[in-house]
Amino acid sequence: MELEHNAYLVLPRLHVQNLNTISSPMTWGAPAITAAMGFMLALQRKVPFDWELDLLTVGMVIHDFEPQVNGGFVKKFSLTRNPLGKDGKTPGIIEEGRAHATISLVFGVYVAGDTSDELLQERARTIYKEASAMRFAGGSIIYSSNTWYKPQILMLPEDQAETQHTLALKRSLLPGFALISRDDVLVSHTKKLQEEEPELTALDAWLDLSRINKRCVVTRIEQPSGEIKETVGWQSDREKGSGWLVPIPVGYSALSELYKAGEVQNARDPHIPFRFVESMYSIGEWCSPHRLSSLNELLWSSHADHEAGIYRCINHNSN
């Protein structure tokens, strides 16, 4: 099913309440792109089969993000009380992190055949309605009365060139930030660190990119009098224009063999294969949509490689 998208579907400004902000065992904040991917698949299954409308890729633009955290330098998650157990006692607290967010989803869509624009927009509204009753990253999509943003399906010209319509679409996603992949930065930074200290790993590079490192720089300037004047300044290593880089989970890597259907006890579905995995991390960038040369750059697709044991999302912008 190697289809190329020929349209965008936009579900604008979904107000998601209490989404799960713990996106992996080592990251928190915006939902993982895998959550958007899961949403896309669930949504696809609600699109009537005979519409021949395939959701192929998904992009996530965040307009507003309000995590339910407290604490100063190190954040703690605000919890809610869970119902009591059978003995009337408080059960062990399993921490959950919650956030409210306003998110637009952009899908790369393949629409088969000739469909009138009127019908397409009606379908966009129907899909939006279905989506509104679903959960996104564990959160509820709540109603908002700010109804000036409309869901839409935009057919693309054959050469996928930017048009008035795609430019208008891009602007409708402002202000906001789209998640794109920066695998390239992780790879090059790992290499750079290893040139100095060979035993360092991708973990060190990943951490290095996730924090601000300040170093002391001393500048010596010779004065006309011949005197040397020293100025001291601590400088961050974040290069200007390197973008808003963040650590992100991008998928999963296998820990076990691929078990046959039914082999693993307590599987949610005993009819399909099962695999234990761990999260896989890379670097992403939050990029304002108007800085992208095409909306295609914010789209992610999902891949499965059973042999290598890699299940991950790939952003076509990268590299």
Partner 1 sequence: MTKNTLKTASVLAFERKIDPSDALLFSGNWSERDSSSSWTPIAVREKSVRGTISNRLKAKDQDPTKVDAAIESPNLQTVDIATLDSEHDTLQVRFTLRVLPGTGTPSACNNADYQEKLAETVNQYVQANGFTELARRYSANLASGRFLWRNRIGSEQVEVSIAHLVDGKAAAVYTFNSLDFSLRNFDHSTEGLEQLSHVISNGLLGKEHVLLQVTAFARVGAGQEVFPSQELILDRGRGDKSKTLYRVNGVAAMHSQKIGNAIRTIDTWYPVEDDVIDLGPIAVEPYGSVTTQGKAYRQPKQKMDFYNLLDNWLLKDQVPALEQQHYVMAILVRGGVFGDAG
Partner 2 sequence: MSSPELTSRANTLRRLIYEYIDEQFQEKVKSLEVGTDAYIKQQEKYQPNNWLAETMKRIAGIQVVTHPFRMTNSQVNIRHASSFYCNPDELLEQNYVTSHVLKNGYLDDLTGNAASFPAYTFLQLEHEGQTLLQMAVRKDQDLISALHEDKELAALWVKDISEIYLPRTESVASHTSGKQIFWNNGEDPYDNDNYILLAPLYSSSLSYELYKKISHDRYSEEAVKAREAARANKIHDGVARDYRNLAVLKLGGSNTQNVSRLNNLMGGQNYLLPSLPPSWKSRNQRPPLKVSSIFSLFEKRRDTKQWLDELKEFLSNQPPANKHTRNKVDLLVSGLLDELYIFVTAFQELPAGWSKDELCDLSSAQCYWLDPARGLEDEEFAESWLNSDWDVTVEHDFARWLNHQLGSKVKHLGDVEFRRWAREMRKDSYWQRFISGSLKALQKQHVRREG
Q: Which of residues 189-228 bind partner 2 (CB under 8 A)?
A: 190, 199, 201-204, 206-207, 210-216, 218
Residue 269: burial class (beta carbons within 10 Å; 0-12, 13-18, 19+): exposed
186 φ/ψ angles, rounded to the nearest 5 degrees: -65, -45
> Binding string to partner 2 for residues 115 to 134, with x set by CB under 8 A, is what?
--------------------
Reduce the DSSP state of residue 46 to 3 states and report it.
Answer: coil
Least distance (Å) from partner 1 to the CB of residue 98? 10
Q: Which stretch binds partner 2 (CB under 8 A): 3-11, 108-116, 118-126, 258-266?
A: 258-266
Nearer to partner 2, 73 or 116 (CB): 73
Residues of this chain, 192-231, that bind partner 1 according to CB under 8 A: none
Torsion of CA 81, 86, 87, 88, to 10 degrees: 30
CA atoms within 13 A on the CB side of 148: 2
Task: Determine the interface stretch with partner 2 among 36-44, 106-114, 152-160, 221-229 (rule: CB under 8 A).
Answer: 36-44
Q: Six-digit token pair at 283?
A: 């670097």
Rounded CA-CA distance 200/207 in Å is: 11
Q: What does 255 bind: partner 2, partner 1, none (CB cut-off 5 to 8 Å by kind)?
A: partner 2
Q: Which of partner 2, partner 1, none interacts with 3 (beta carbon under 5 to 8 A by kind)?
A: none
Binding to partner 2 in span 93-112, by CB under 8 A = 93-95, 97
Q: Which of 17, 126, 140, 279 is in the footprint of partner 2 by CB under 8 A?
A: 279
Distance, CA of 179 to CA of 247 (rounded, Å): 11
State the chain's maximal CA–CA distance in angstroms: 84
Distance CA 233, CA 223 (A): 19
Closest CB 297 distance from partner 2, rounded Å: 15
Q: What is the distance between the alpha carbons of residues 300 and 137, in angstroms, rounded to a whole number?
A: 16
8 Å CB contact between 156 and 8: yes
| Of the residues 170, 295, 299, 315, which one makes contact with partner 2 according to CB under 8 A | 170
Q: Under a CB-based contact definition with an 8 Å cutoff, are residues 105 and 124 in contact?
A: no
Give the binding-site size for partner 1 (rule: CB under 8 A).
37
Binders of partner 1 among 237-276, rule CB under 8 A? 265-271
In this structure, what token pair is assigned to residue 8? Answer: 């965008």
- Binder of residue 70, out of partner 2, partner 1, none (CB less than 5 to 8 A by kind): partner 1
Residue with Cβ nearer partner 1 (184 or 263): 263
Reading the block at residue 130, the tokens are 């279905």
Look at residue 256 and give the partner it binds from partner 1, partner 2, none, a contact being a CB closer than 5 to 8 Å depending on partner kind. Answer: partner 2
25 binds partner 2 (CB under 8 A): yes
| Beta-bridge mates of residue 233 | 217
- Site map for partner 1, 21-50, x if CB under 8 A? ------------------------------
| Cα separation, 182 vs 153, whole angstroms | 28
Residues of this chain that interact with partner 1 (CB under 8 A) are 17-18, 64, 66, 68, 70-71, 76, 78-81, 83-89, 93, 100, 129, 132-133, 135, 140, 142-143, 145, 147, 265-271
